[in-house]
Amino acid sequence: MTERLLQDGVLAVTPVVVHLCTRCDHMTSTVAHACRACGHQGSRPLTRQMLVWDRSPGTPLLGRDDFHAHRAKQPGHLLTIAQNVPERLILSRTRDHGISLAPLGLDGLVLDPRAGVHIAVLAAARHGAERPVMTLTENAAANVAAYGAPFRRHDGTRLRYALHGRIPYDDAAALQRLCEVHRVSPAQRELFLAWFLPLCSLHLRAGITAAQLPALLKFWRRAHLDRPDTPGSDGLAELRRRIAAGDMRWVMDVTLLSRIIPDYLPTDGFIKEPEGAT
């Protein structure tokens, strides 16, 4: 992708003055500031070849249609943040890990991971996803969206973002206790944590608080009990329409939710469709 963007003149390899930490050689940026790798204050300027994206003024970095969300939920302030990044973005970094840019003559440099993460999602999407959607928090989107702008379209595939709120997984002990108190089976707990809460976080974009967990667990148990005896296609068309429109309110509809709860957590990330569903 990077090579093609270079050939098309979207990206360029050009000499740039950057600052290197005088203690660990980590590249800080085009302006001198404390090293993000070791905290050292001192830096020295160095001119070296870098992979850059110079966009012409007025090029939109992020539009409403870059989000998989219904209109009322689109993040206006993210669009504003994206417009405030510099006109030149440097896409090569000194880092231990990443996609090596040595084939482009940039020895020791890797592609900025804020760009690379988009490529990773598109690569995963090649396994059958026609409309890939990358889930991330608003903070993460504010950090990576500008760097992803040249990388969100590839070979007719377009990558969109879906924003989700934070899930309080770090409060695992409290969650564990909660499940014990409510006599939630280990299998049900696994589905609650790894299937229901992620879906919930796409709806509760301001984040899920630890205080909300008891009510969510109660709701989840009710939906679990309401599961139909025989799986069918009732309501699936409606559900599909809502998901395609980026409308996640259905997660809080106990009837709709109960129809699609899987029996177990699939390890390959794909939920099997109920038998007979089309």
Region from 32-40, 43-51, 105-113, 156-164 binding Zn ion, contact rule CB under 5 A: 32-40
Region from 31-39, 44-52, 107-115, 184-192 binding Zn ion, contact rule CB under 5 A: 31-39
Q: Whose Cβ is closer to Zn ion: residue 22's or residue 176's?
A: 22
Tell me 196's DSSP state.
I
Q: Whose Cβ is closer to Zn ion: residue 2's or residue 43's?
A: 43
Opening angle at CA 149, ends 143 and 151, nearest 5 = 110
Counting residues that bind Zn ion (by CB under 5 A) gives: 8
Instruction: Point out which residues pair with 153 in neighbouring strands.
Output: 158
Exactly one of 10, 16, 26, 233 binds Zn ion (CB under 5 A); that residue is: 26
CA distance 173 to 171: 6
Region from 16-24, 97-105, 151-159, 202-210 binding Zn ion, contact rule CB under 5 A: 16-24
Tell me 100's DSSP state.
B
CB 63 within 8 A of CB 152: no
CA distance 189 to 218: 12
- Is residue 38 involved in binding Zn ion (CB under 5 A)? yes
Non-local (6+) Cβ contacts of 135 within 8 A are 161, 162, 163, 164, 198, 202
Exactly one of 11, 20, 27, 35 binds Zn ion (CB under 5 A); that residue is: 35
Exactly one of 21, 61, 149, 202 binds Zn ion (CB under 5 A); that residue is: 21
Q: Whose Cβ is closer to Zn ion: residue 38's or residue 172's?
A: 38
Q: How many helices (H) and strands (E) does the chain have?
A: 10, 9
Q: What are phi and psi of 93, to 5 degrees?
A: -135, 155
- Is residue 37 involved in binding Zn ion (CB under 5 A)? yes
Q: Residue 37 Cβ, how far from Zn ion at the closest point, in Å?
A: 5
Exactly one of 17, 24, 174, 244 binds Zn ion (CB under 5 A); that residue is: 24
CA distance 251 to 239: 10
Tell me 65's DSSP state.
G
Q: Whose Cβ is closer to Zn ion: residue 33's or residue 241's?
A: 33
Region from 21-29, 114-122, 132-140, 249-257 binding Zn ion, contact rule CB under 5 A: 21-29
**Where on the chain is the footprint of Zn ion (CB under 5 A)?**
21, 23-24, 26, 35, 37-38, 40
